[in-house]
Amino acid sequence: MKKKIVKWFKTVITDFNSSHCSMHAAGLTYFAMLSLVPLLCVLLSVAKICGADDFAREKINQQIDTMITNVERAQDDDLAKVAPMSEEERERKRIAAEEFAAQARSISNALFERIAQFDVWTFGWIGFGFLVWTVISAISMVETSFNEVFHVEKARPIWKRAYLNIFTAVILPIFAALALSVPILALAKQILVATMGAMWLTKWVSDGIIWFLDSTLFRLGITLTIATLAFAYAFAVLPNRKVPFRDAVFGGFVTAFLFGAWVKICAVAQVGIAKASALYGSFAFLPIVLAWLYMSWQIVLLGACITHASLEASEKEAAE
């Protein structure tokens, strides 16, 4: 068993290096920055057709603001206080984080003001087609990277790649956002509160369920589950080969955990903010975001390598 685990780890490391994941992460970082505005425009345009553009804009802006707030208040986090640091150093990092948050909010507000002015009819179908092509090209880069990790030599035909990437870039995020927005927890709590008091056992059980639904552990579990399914979808669908759902979910879970940990570290430890602010000043936002994105893509590609290693191990077990 120990030899199998060691061999599995070696396979993951070998896949990561032989598939040039660091180089692919750099390319994906560039394409992610290039396709960010087109992706938001396409998503909000489709949401506008469905009559949910204001809701989608509010949810996206809310997630961005939450991330910025976490960075801004990072030095007050309990995890940040564990690290040995002088008060002078902590204050310096706090000032750098506040400057970074101010830049991020300014860019975010300007971005959404620009997107709010976007209209398909004034932009033209050719321009809108260019935006869609940019999004498809960006996701095609992810597909190409995954194909190399999974040792796929032949890519999908262009027409298959086009509709798959459109589905991935537009339909899936919209349905995910709509599914997450349904107030199931609030409705469940309202029903429990309304039925409380019928008997002591009912009240005791209802109080326990309400406490569990409001707990941080439950919300963390829901977030981890959704992220796991999202990454599992990418690992199972984007490579041009059959990937069992079990292996995709395993890779998705590890990726979701590592990705969540990286986001928390970025917010609490404020990776690179102080040094970049001292070096770049008011232009520090861009190199910081690029560095964070680059590391994030490396984590995603590492998850693809983990999925591929799990797939190979399953195939060898089935052959024996």
Q: What is the 3-state secondary structure (H, E, C) of 220-243?
A: HHHHHHHHHHHHHHHHHHCCCCCC
pLDDT in tens, 94-120: 666 667 777 777 777 777 777 767 666
Q: How high is the pLDDT of residue 7?
A: 83
- Cβ atoms of 72 and 63 closer than 8 Å: no
More confident residue, 50 or 230: 230
Residue 151 has pLDDT above 70, yes or no: yes
Mean pLDDT check: name the lowest of 10-19, 43-52, 73-82.
73-82
pLDDT at 286 over 70: yes
Q: What is the pLDDT of residues 35-67, one digit of tens each?
A: 877 777 777 766 666 666 676 677 666 666 666
Confidence (pLDDT) at 297? 93
Which of 8-22, 142-156, 209-223 shows the lowest mean pLDDT across its residues?
A: 209-223
User: Which two tokens mark 87?
Assistant: 């008060």
pLDDT for 183 equals: 47
Alpha helices for the chain (secondary structure H): 2-18, 21-49, 53-72, 78-82, 87-116, 120-123, 125-149, 158-166, 172-181, 184-195, 200-214, 216-237, 245-268, 273-280, 285-319
More confident residue, 123 or 79: 123
Q: What is the pLDDT of residues 254-272, one digit of tens each?
A: 998 998 888 777 766 555 5
266 and 299 Cβ atoms separated by less than 8 Å:
no
pLDDT of residue 172: 61
* 244-249 mean pLDDT: 92
What is the pLDDT, as a whole number, of residue 249? 94
Highest mean pLDDT among 75-84, 131-140, 186-195: 131-140
Tokens of 142: 């992810």
Please give the C-alpha separations between residue 251 and each of 14, 142, 226, 316, 317, in angstroms, as whole numbers.
16, 16, 14, 18, 18
Q: What is the pLDDT of residue 224?
A: 83
Query: Rounded to two decimals, what is the model's pTM?
Result: 0.78
Residue 145 confidence class, pLDDT cut points 50, 70, 90: very high
Integer Cα distance of 51 and 59 in angstroms: 14
Confidence of residue 288 (pLDDT cuts 50, 70, 90): confident
Residue-averaged pLDDT of the chain? 74
pLDDT at 14 over 50: yes
Q: What percent of the chain is modeled with pLDDT above 70? A: 58
Average pLDDT of the residues in 298-311 = 93
What is d(CA 306, CA 250) in angstroms, rounded to the nearest whole number?
8
177: pLDDT strictly greater than 60: no
